[in-house]
Structure 1
Amino acid sequence: MKGIISIQSHVVYGSAGNSSAVFPLQRLGFNVWPIHTVQFSNHTQYPQGWTGDKFDPSTIGELRQGLSNIDALEKCHAVLSGYLGSSGQTHEVLKLVNEVRSANPEAIYVCDPVMGDAEKGCVVSEEVTGDLVNHLMPAADVIVPNQFELSCFTQMKISCLDDAIAACQKALTQGPKVVLVKHLHSISSDQFIMILATKEGFYMVERPLLSFERQPVGVGDLISALFTGGLLKGLPAVEAFVHANNACFAVLKETSDSGEWELQTVAAQQSLVEPKEYFAALRLA
């Protein structure tokens, strides 16, 4: 079984960060080795607040060394990074990625550059944003930004589909080989739209935008994990893209039908492998 190191936030209760990503990757058949950047009682959208703390950046380095000592890094086929709580953590992630690539040249790095969104604005420090834009995203094989994060990376305003395509084209010149934009909020108010950009072509998928009283947290983390899993299974990027979209919709549908706020990933686990509904990709270019 292929191994994946997933470096993200973690919540004890609910689904966000590694709590949203680890189980889907396991259900797809991978060994997942989570490294937590923070550990909170619950995600930060609860009005009652949350408890917990960030981990010191040295923790990532210590765990990297421990994995290296037991020759585990050569069994790692992908590094997936998500929320990073400090500039020190971004530097440790890059060190880990470089060491994994040295141990296994076939390994890929998937960067989910968690910075924020159009509504919240930037939710990380300027230092973390700068490190993501200038160091981690250019070093990644695959990036999975939302519209806001893609704009930060390319320094381009996105207000229509043509803008999004142009920004993806620019992103492909800045290091990454694959760009998956996991939410283009400016394109439609009633459809959830994602774009995939590779040197082979540009694709778009649409799915219904389900109505929630409170929007679930951890959806982006789930998409990044599902796409990473599809790529490691050997699927062409566009097929991994379509599967990630369809499986994510299945989890959201289960969540909506259950009247829950937290993602019902376990209840929808069979659909992680075999989604019941299919939304095809449209080739854009």
Structure 2
Amino acid sequence: MKGVISIQSHVVYGHAGNSSAVFPLQRMGFEVWPIHTVQFSNHTQYQQGWTGKAFSAEDISELIAGIDNIGQLKECNAVLSGYQGSAEQCLAVKDAVAKVKQRNPNAIYVCDPVMGDPEKGCIVPPGTTEYLVNDVMPMADVIVPNQFELSQFIQLEIESLEDAIAACQKALTLGPKMVLVKHLHSISNDKFTMMLATQEGCFIAQRPHLKFAKQPVGVGDLISALFTAGLLKGWNAEQAFAHANNASYAILKETQKRQEWELQTIAAQEEIVAPVEQFTVVQVK
């Protein structure tokens, strides 16, 4: 069975980071070896606050060394990274990816470059964005940024579909082989829009923009995990993209139905594998 190392944040209660990504990967048939960059009681959007701590970069390196010591890095088919609790952790992730690829040259690296959200305020430690842009994202096979994170990577503002296409095309010249923009908010007000860019072209997938009293957290982590799982199943990029869009919508719809703001991943688990509603993927370039 294919193994995935997932290096992300973790919350004890709810679904964000590894708590959002691990179960969907497992449900789609993969062994997941989670490494936590931080461990918090709950995600950081609770008004009451949260407890917990960030781990050191050395913790990541030690865990990777331990897995290597028992001869299992060669069984790792993908590294997925998300929120980093320090700038130094970015370098530990970079080293981890290099070591995995040394043991298994066919392994892929999927980078969800969490840089924060300007509307919510910066949530990443100083220096993290710079390391992601200059060191981590260029070495990734796949990047899964939101619109803001993509604009930081290519140093251009995105205000239209044409801008998004140009941004993705530029990103493909900087190292990554695939770009999945997990949310393009400039494209539509009433539909949630994602974009995929590969050497074959640019594609968009749209679904209804569901309304919530409080916007769920961890959706990007979910999308990254679903897309990674699709690629590991051997699906082509467009198929994996469509599935990530359809399955994430199913989970959000169940979350809305239950009037929750923590993702209802467990309740919607059947649709992680076989989402009922299917949305068309359209090639735009």
TM-score (norm: length of structure 1): 0.99
The SS at the match of 1:4 is strand
The SS at the match of 1:116 is coil
2: CA distance between counterparts of 1:249 and 1:171?
A: 26
The SS at the match of 1:7 is strand
2: CA distance between counterparts of 1:199 and 1:121?
A: 34
2: CA distance between counterparts of 1:274 and 1:120?
A: 33
Whether the 8 Å contact between 1:117 and 1:147 is mirrored in structure 2 is no
Whether the 8 Å contact between 1:177 and 1:198 is mirrored in structure 2 is yes
2: CA distance between counterparts of 1:247 and 1:270?
A: 9
1:33-52 aligned at under 5 Å gives the runs: 33-52=33-52
Structure 2 partner of 1:54: 54
Structure 2: which amino acid aligns with 1:264?
Answer: Q
The SS at the match of 1:117 is coil
1:36-185 aligned at under 5 Å gives the runs: 36-185=36-185
1: CA distance between counterparts of 2:91 and 2:61?
A: 10
Measured against aligned partners, the alpha-carbon deviations of 1:174-211 in whole angstroms (never above 9, x if no partner) come to 00000000000111111000000000111000000000
Structure 1: which amino acid aligns with 2:192?
Answer: F
Structure 2: which amino acid aligns with 1:219?
Answer: V
Structure 2 partner of 1:249: 249
1: CA distance between counterparts of 2:280 and 2:185?
A: 19
Whether the 8 Å contact between 2:86 and 2:126 is mirrored in structure 1 is no
Whether the 8 Å contact between 2:24 and 2:222 is mirrored in structure 1 is yes
1: CA distance between counterparts of 2:126 and 2:171?
A: 20
For these two proteins, the number of residue pairs brought into alignment is: 285
1: CA distance between counterparts of 2:206 and 2:236?
A: 19
Structure 2 partner of 1:273: 273
Structure 1 residue ranges (4+ consecutive) displaced by more than 2 angstroms after TM superposition? 120-123
Q: CA deviation at 1:139?
A: 0.3
RMSD between superposed Cα atoms in Å: 0.7
Q: CA deviation at 1:56?
A: 1.0
Structure 2 partner of 1:14: 14
In the alignment, structure 1 segments of 5+ residues that lack a partner are none
TM-score (norm: length of structure 2): 0.99
Question: In the alignment, is residue 205 of structure 1 matched against residue 205 of structure 2?
Answer: yes
1:233-248 aligned at under 5 Å gives the runs: 233-248=233-248
Measured against aligned partners, the alpha-carbon deviations of 1:24-57 in whole angstroms (never above 9, x if no partner) come to 0000000000000000000000000000000011
Work out the percentage of aligned pairs sharing the same amino acid.
66
